[in-house]
Structure 1
Amino acid sequence: MEIILIISQALLYLFFSILVGSFILLLVPSKYRPDIKIPKRFLLISAIAIPILSFIPVLESILYIAPRLGLFESFKIVLTTYTVGNAWDFTLLGSVVLILLISLTRFPEKDIFAYLGAFVTFFLILTIAWSSHAGAVDPMLGIISDFIHLTAVSIWVGILLIIAWCSINQNNWLEFLSWFSMVAFGCLIATALSGLFLMDIMVDGYIDSWMVSYGQGLLLKHLFLLPLVFYALVNSLIVKHKLSKDDSFNPIPWIRVEGFILLTIFTITATYSQQSPPHGNYLTSDTVSPLFRLFHADIINYSNTIGFAVNLNTVLFFFLSILFIGLIALSFFKKASIIVSFLFSCLFVTSIYFMLMVTVVIR
C-alpha cells in the first residue's frame, strides 16, 4: 500500500502542476510567451485523476478500520468524521466542477475559463492541504503553510512543463523569461519560507531527523534544490544572454532539465511524506532509516544526536561534488543531451549526500 501511496501522491502533484501551469499561461498575453497548444484531454485527464489519486489515503484509513467495523461502516465513518475524509468530499465536489468546466467550454483560450479553472484548482490544492499531516498537527499554520508550499511549486513546475512540452515555437522567449524569472524567484522564496514553517511544525530537530526516513527524505529534497537553483539561474541569465546574441539558440532543453529536477523533488516529497514525522521520543533502533544505517550501524536510541567531524572522505566527496558541478556547466556549453545533464545533477546530489553522511558522527 505504501508504494501505491507514494506513486499516487507524486502523480497528484504532477496533475496539479499541469492544471495550474495551463490556466496561468492561458491568462498570459500571447506576446509574453511562446505559442502553446494545450490538448484539452490533458486538462481533462488531470481533473479526473485528482479525486482518484487523492482518495488513496482515504482508502488506507478505510481499510485500516474495516476489519473491526466492516467495509461499508468504515467507508461512511471515514468520509463523514475523519479529516482526511471530509477534505476528500470537497476535493470530489471541486473536481466535478472542474471536469464540467473543461468539458463544456468550447474555447479554452477565453479568460473566463482560465480564471475559473485556476480558482477551482487552487481550491482543490487547499483541500489537499487540509488533509495533510501538517494540517493535522497545526490546523491553522499547517494548512496555510502546506497550501502555499504546494501552490508555489505547482506554479513553478506547471509553467515549466507546459512551456517545455506544449510550446510550438520559440517566439517571444526573451519576453517569457523576463516575467517567468521573477515568478520562479517568487515561488522559490514562497516554497522556502513555507517549508521552514512546515519543518517547524513537523520536525523536532532537522539535523537529528536525518537518522529516520522522514529526515532522510527532507535532506535529499533540499539537496536537489542546489542543482535546481543552478538551472534556474542558467535559464534566467545565461539563456537570456545567449538568445539576445543568437536567435537560433534552442532554450527548451534547459527548461526541461529544470522541470525534471522539480519532478524528482515531487517524487522525493511523495516518498517521505508517507513516513512518520519525527516528534517526541521517536528515535529507536527500529525507526532508524535503512539509508542512514548504510553509513552508521551503531545502536541508536532516543538520547542520540548528530554531530559532524571532517575526515578524508569528507574532502574527497567535496571535490567530487565540485567536479560534477563543473560537468553540469560543461554539458550546458557543449549542448549535451538533457539526460546527461540530469545524470550529472543526480551524481552531484549523491556526492553532497555522501559527504554529509560520512561526516556525521553519533553522539
Structure 2
Amino acid sequence: MIYVSEGLLYVCFAILAGSLLLRLVPEDKRPSVQVPGGLLLACVIAIPVLSYVPIHKLAIVFSKDFDMTYSSILKSILLDINTGKAWLWTTIGAVGLAFLLGLKAFRGDKHMPKVALFVTFLLIVWLGYAGHASSLYGFRGLVTHASHFLAVSVWIGILFVVSWFSKDNAKWEAFLRWFSPVAIACVLVTLLAGFVLMSFTTPEYVNAWMLPYGQMLLIKHLLILPLLLFAYSNGFLYKKMAKSNPAFNPRRWLQAESIIALLVLAATGALGQQTPPHTVKETLQTVSPSPLFTSVYKGSFSTDIALQFSLHMESILMLAAAVLMAGGVIWMYRSNKLIPAFLMGILTVVFGYFGLMFSIA
C-alpha cells in the first residue's frame, strides 16, 4: 500500500507540474491540451493524503514499539521529525492551492499558472525536506533531492500531459522543437542530482544489490535506458519520420514513453519507503536480503560478502541481448511499429538485469 501511495504521489506532482507549465507555453508551440480542472484539483488534494500514508505507518510502528497511543506518537512525529513538519507545510500549501483552483475566477486568470507553479515548487521543496538526504545532510541533501524531483516532474509531467490530454495532432514539430532541449536539460539535472543522492544514500552501489533498496535502485536505473531510447527517438528521429511518412503520429510514441516514465516514478516511489544502505553490512543486520537477489544469486550468501563483477558466458549473452533489444527500439521506431518497440524496451530492462546479476560473484 505504501509503495502504491508513494508512486501515486509522484504521478500527482507530475500531472500538476506538466499541466501548469504547458499553460505558460504559447498555443502555437504546442498541441491543444485540455486537462480537466477536476483532475488538477484531485491531484492537489491527493498530495497531503498520499504523503500521510508513510507517517501513518510510522506512527503505528512507534506506538507499538514504545507502548504509546497513536495520537501521542503522531503529535511527536508532526512536531519533532522532518517528515512530520514537512507534511504540515505540505498540507497547508495544498489546501491553499486547492482553494485557489476551486475558484472559477482564479482558474481563468492569466496569472493562475504562475501562482500555482510557485506553490507546487514549494510542495516539491517540502517533499525534499522530508527525504532521507535532507535528514542526513541538511541543506545540501534538501537541494539535491528537490532538484532531482523537480527535474523529473517537469520532464515527465509535460510528457505525460501532452501525450494523454492533447486534443489534436497539430504543432507536434513546434512542440518537440522546444521540449527536446527542456527534456535534455531535465535529464542532465536528474542524472547529476541522482549521482549525488547515490553518494549520500548508497555509497556501496553494487553491494547494495543484496538489499531491497539496491534491487529497486538497479531496476529504476535499468528502466531509464528504454526511457532515454524513446526520448531520443521522439526528440531526434521525429522529423525524418514525419518527412518520410506524413501520416506518422508521434502521440502514440509519446504515450509509450510516458508509460515507461511512470514505471520509473513507481520505482522511485518504492525507493522512498525503503531503508537506504549507507553501510551494506550494517544494514543487513536489521534488513533482510532481497528475495529477488537471493533467488538469482548463485553464490553462497552471507552478510560479509563483497560483490564483484566476473563476466561469464551467460551474463555476456544476456547483456548482448539487452544491447540488441535497445537497438531494436530504434529500428522499430523507424519502422513505425510501436508495440514491438515497447516490448523491446521492456526486454532491454529484463536482459540487462539478468546480465548484471549473472555477472556478480
SS in 2 for 1:138: helix
Q: CA deviation at 1:111?
A: 3.1
The aligned counterpart of 2:345 is 345
Q: CA deviation at 1:203?
A: 1.2
Q: Could you give the per-residue CA deviations for residues 80-116 of structure 1, whole angstroms, max 9, x where no partner exists?
A: 2222111100000000111011100346354310001
Q: What letter matches 1:271 in structure 2?
A: A
Conserved 8 A contact 2:129-2:142 = yes
Residues 250-289 of structure 1: matches in 2 within 5 Å? Answer: 250-280=249-279, 281-282=281-282, 284=284, 287-289=288-290
Q: CA deviation at 1:244?
A: 4.4
Range 327-336 or range 79-88, more displaced? 327-336
SS in 2 for 1:35: coil
SS in 2 for 1:267: helix
The aligned counterpart of 1:14 is 11
Q: Among residues 48, 51, 59, which one is paired with 1:54 in the alignment?
A: 51
The aligned counterpart of 2:107 is 108
Closer/same/farther in 2, CA of residues 99 and 337 from structure 1, 3 Å limit:
same
Q: CA deviation at 1:236?
A: 0.8
Inter-partner Cα distance in structure 1 for 2:238 and 2:180:
11
The aligned counterpart of 1:295 is 296
Conserved 8 A contact 2:229-2:329 = no
Conserved 8 A contact 1:27-1:111 = no
TM-score (normalizing by structure 1): 0.93
Residues 169-180 of structure 1: matches in 2 within 5 Å? Answer: 169-180=168-179
Q: What letter matches 2:2 in structure 1?
A: L
Q: Could you give the per-residue CA deviations for residues 198-239 of structure 1, whole angstroms, max 9, x where no partner exists?
A: 111111311221121111111111111111111111011111
Conserved 8 A contact 1:283-1:300 = no
The aligned counterpart of 1:308 is 309
Q: What letter matches 1:303 in structure 2?
A: D
Range 43-52 or range 307-316, more displaced? 307-316
The aligned counterpart of 2:70 is 71
Q: Could you give the per-residue CA deviations for residues 48-92 of structure 1, whole angstroms, max 9, x where no partner exists?
A: 100100011111122122242212222222222222111100000
Range 79-88 or range 6-15, more displaced? 79-88
Are 1:28 and 2:25 an aligned pair? yes
Inter-partner Cα distance in structure 1 for 2:6 and 2:47:
10
Q: CA deviation at 1:260?
A: 1.0
Residues 52-201 of structure 1: matches in 2 within 5 Å? Answer: 52-67=49-64, 68-106=67-105, 108=107, 110-201=109-200
Q: CA deviation at 1:155?
A: 0.5
Q: Could you give the per-residue CA deviations for residues 238-273 of structure 1, whole angstroms, max 9, x where no partner exists?
A: 113223454432110111111111111111111233
Residues 208-219 of structure 1: matches in 2 within 5 Å? Answer: 208-219=207-218
Residue ranges of structure 1 left out of the alignment (5+ in a row): none
Aligned length: 357
Range 92-101 or range 340-349, more displaced? 340-349
Inter-partner Cα distance in structure 2 for 1:119 and 1:194:
21
Q: What letter matches 1:78 in structure 2?
A: I
Q: What letter matches 2:168 in structure 1?
A: N
Closer/same/farther in 2, CA of residues 327 and 88 from structure 1, 3 Å limit:
same
Conserved 8 A contact 1:257-1:341 = no
- RMSD of equivalent CA atoms: 1.8
Runs of 4+ in 1 over 6 A off after TM superposition: none
Q: What letter matches 1:84 in structure 2?
A: T
The aligned counterpart of 1:333 is 334
Conserved 8 A contact 1:57-1:84 = no
Range 207-216 or range 300-309, more displaced? 300-309
Q: Could you give the per-residue CA deviations for residues 283-317 of structure 1, whole angstroms, max 9, x where no partner exists?
A: 54863221111222544444321111121102221
Residue ranges of structure 2 left out of the alignment (5+ in a row): none
Conserved 8 A contact 2:200-2:278 = no
Range 347-356 or range 204-213, more displaced? 204-213
Q: CA deviation at 1:143?
A: 1.0
Range 62-71 or range 258-267, more displaced? 62-71
Q: CA deviation at 1:138?
A: 1.1
Inter-partner Cα distance in structure 1 for 2:210 and 2:87:
33
Are 1:45 and 2:46 an aligned pair? no
Q: What fraction of aligned residue pairs are identical, expressed as a percent? A: 33
Q: What letter matches 1:360 in structure 2?
A: I
Inter-partner Cα distance in structure 2 for 1:186 and 1:325:
23
